[in-house]
Amino acid sequence: FSIAEAVRCATANGADLLGLKDMGRIKPGAKATFLAVKGPPSGLPESLRRTHMLWIDGCPYDPDPQITQIPPIP
């Protein structure tokens, strides 16, 4: 398999097999749930361990948010 074919097998083809026609692909109207990893596509699947960002239903998700505001001291 080429890199593109392997990614398609793990995304669109898998979603189609499960009957999830709106998932597994990036296109208008599809649910924007995807993972961005650090590294080139040729680094897959190992680069999946280096998560850069995750989007769930179009919203960025950070499982470890940093404190962005210090609460006032009483």
* Better pLDDT: 19 or 10: 19
Query: Does the structure show a pLDDT above 80 at 53?
Result: yes
Query: Does the structure show a pLDDT above 80 at 31?
Result: no
**Separation CA 16–CA 43 (nearest Å):** 25
Tally of domains in the chain: 1
Which pLDDT belongs to residue 56? 85
**Separation CA 64–CA 29 (nearest Å):** 29
Query: Does the structure show a pLDDT above 80 at 59?
Result: yes
For residue 44, is it within any domain?
Answer: yes
For residue 67, is it within any domain?
Answer: no
Residue recorded with tokens 């962005």: 68
**pTM reported for the whole predicted model:** 0.52
Which pLDDT belongs to residue 19? 92
For residue 37, is it within any domain?
Answer: yes
**Residues 5-17: what's their mean pLDDT?**
84
